[in-house]
Structures are given as structure tokens and as C-alpha cells.
Amino acid sequence: MTEDVEPGEHAQEKIGPADEDGRPQPNAPEVESARLLANDALDALRVRGVSDEAIRRLADEYVALDLGEDTDAFILWAVEHRGQPL
């Protein structure tokens, strides 16, 4: 889990098993929310040099940690966190 991120109050309900690199993943009912968020932010993050795969992984983590649903807030968070291994 990202050490400098405080999970939201519903994170325990939304988080599923971590991926092979230990990153938080959304549980099955939240996967679609993560995909929609990634799609909404795709163009804004691509122009900032974030790969499609990294966008998907960041959206998975953002949703799993219950950090919100706002696309603009996700974009800001993703730009700040993309320096970490993706």
C-alpha cells in the first residue's frame, strides 16, 4: 500500500487482494468504477506522460483506497504519485 496515503473510511470494503507488486487493487464490485475513472482521466494523464497501463494501475489503487470519485482530484493525485514504481 502507498505509505503516504491515508485510505478513505470505506477502503476496507473496497480493497481486494494486492497485485503481484503489492499495490492495492479494488475488489470485484469496484473494478468497473476504477475503469471508468481511468477512462475519464486518460487524455489528461497521457499528455502528462503517464502510460495507459500506469493510469489503469493508479485508478485501481485510488478506488481501492477509497480516495474519492472526482476525476480532477484523481488526476492531481495520479500526477503526484506517478513517480513511484508503476
Neighbours of 28 (CB within 10 A): 8
Higher-scoring residue by pLDDT: 1, 41: 41
- Residue carrying the nine cell digits 507488486: 21
Rounded CA-CA distance 38/80 in Å is: 16
- Residue carrying the nine cell digits 504519485: 81
pLDDT at residue 69 in the model: 87
What does DSSP assign to residue 10? T
User: φ and ψ at 55, to 5 degrees?
Assistant: -60, -45
Residue-wise pLDDT for 38-66, tens only, equals 999 999 999 999 999 999 999 999 999 99
Chain mean position to CA 67? 8
Query: Of 19-33, 37-51, 59-73, which range is least confident?
Result: 19-33
pLDDT at residue 15 in the model: 81
Global pTM exceeds 0.75: yes
pLDDT at residue 53 in the model: 93
Contact call for residues 55 and 38 (beta carbons, < 8 A): yes
